[in-house]
Amino acid sequence: MRAETGFVLSMFVLFIAIYLTLNIVGTIYYTMLPSNTQSQKGIRGGGLATVILGWLGMPLLNLYSPIAYSVQK
């Protein structure tokens, strides 16, 4: 039981790390583009991170979710 909890927590931490990395990279990318205000650039960068995470990260999270993991056992 403890091994499952550690595995799920490690996947959750990995998911948060991926999101934060993509958010920073997306914000830097959009900061280099011409835009009206700095806040719009930050919002667009965060939106880009969310979209990329939705495409790449969510299947990973669903695959290793606690429910899917316990059903596989």
pLDDT tens per residue across span 8-18: 778 778 877 87
Quickly count: other Cβ atoms within 10 Å of residue 20's Cβ: 11
pLDDT, mean of residues 53-62? 61
pLDDT tens per residue across span 18-28: 777 777 776 67
Amino acid at 40: Q
State the helix-helix crossing angle for 2-32 and 38-63, rounded to 10 degrees: 150
